Amino acid sequence: MELPTSPGFSLAGKTALVTGAGRGIGLACAAALAEMGAEVVLAARTETEITDAANAIVARGQKARAIVLDVSDLAGAKAAIAQAGPFDVLINNAGTNRPMPMQDVAEDDYDAVLDLNLKSAFFVAQAVAQGLIAAGKPGSLIHMSSQMGHVGGPNRSLYCASKWAIEGMSKSFALDLAAHGIRSNTIAPTFIETPMTKPFFQDQAFLDSVLAKIKLGRLGQVQDLMGAVQYLASDASALVTGTSLVVDGGWTVE
């Protein structure tokens, strides 16, 4: 009997771009891809963070380099991606949030969240896709969404708007790019404990409300996303496009 062989999670020979890669989720994504053999390009606005992160990856015998990239500078980002690419894998991770009741949202708040979370993400993905198409290469676009792209949440109107839009955007990308062998998917995490989010969890009432919704009873850690990133980036998910991998501990089950 001849048994089938798994495609595996190897990313040897692949080049990956990770935006917002200096810390937290972005850094974990970069580390996950490097573990599987990819050459990882870490991008963010803060040069010291991404340089230190790239050096740490290289120090453990893996491949990484850093580029200073402000994804909100659309023309600058497009030029930088064209110069550094083509990229076989994109982790479209840069984002922000301004939690507040919808009645308190100002135009500046709207622009800050939607411009970074949606507009910049769209044109970063476009630049990566254009590079792949020009090179005649397949690829995997992975957009960091959220469980809040599948449900609503108090004080999250802007964030939910941006992440629901990311979900729809990714599905349409999947249709537009399928003929080129380029896949588009999202990862939708629950609340992940990072240096940025940790202060919020010092509010016991807020922490209790979050844990009451996460059926597995704990906050997410960046390590919880690393396997999802490796899966969607690799040939193990070769037939997966236009979907969302929800890593939420059961938040959206009911």
One-character DSSP codes across 84-130 = H---SEEEE-------B-GGG--HHHHHHHHIIIIIIHHHHHHHHHH
pLDDT at 8: 95
Contact between residue 77 and residue 69 where contact means Cβ atoms under 8 Å apart: yes
For residue 132, give Cα distances in angstroms to 14, 35, 125, 129, 180.
12, 23, 11, 5, 8
Q: Please, is 148 exposed, middle or buried when counting C-beta atoms within 10 Å of its C-beta (0-12, 13-18, 19+)?
A: buried
Per-residue pLDDT reduced to its tens digit, 73-92 = 999 999 999 999 999 999 99
Read off the pLDDT of residues 106-129 as tens digits, 9 standing for 90 and up.
Answer: 999 999 999 999 999 999 999 999
Mean pLDDT of 7-34: 97
If you average pLDDT over residues 246-253, what whole number do you get? 98
Query: Whole-prediction pTM value?
Result: 0.96
140 φ, ψ (degrees, to nearest 5): -130, 120
d(CA 175, CA 196): 34
Mean pLDDT of 131-143: 98
- CA 182 to CA 253: how far, in whole Å? 30
Please identify every residue annotated as catalytic: 159
Res. 210 pLDDT band, cuts 50 70 90: very high
As a whole number, mean pLDDT of residues 29-41 equals 98
Q: Looking at residue 191, what is its pLDDT?
A: 96
Three-state SS annotation for 209-246: HHHHHCCCCCCEECHHHHHHHHHHHCHHHCCCCCCEEE
Average pLDDT score, the chain: 96
Domains of the chain and any CATH numbers: 15-247 (3.40.50.720)
**How does DSSP assign 169-211, residue by residue?**
HHHHHHHHHGGGTEEEEEEEE--EE-TTTGGGGGSHHHHHHHH
3-class SS of residue 34 = helix
| Crossing angle of the two packed helices 24-35 and 223-233, in degrees rounded to 10 | 50
| Other CB atoms within 10 Å distance of the CB of residue 108 | 9
Map tokens 């236009």 to a residue: 242
Given pLDDT bands bounded at 50, 70 and 90, which one contains residue 197?
confident
- Rounded to an integer, the average pLDDT of 168-177 is 98
- The per-residue pLDDT for 200 is 86
Contact 222, 189 (CB under 8 A): no
How many whole angstroms separate alpha carbon 101 and alpha carbon 111?
16
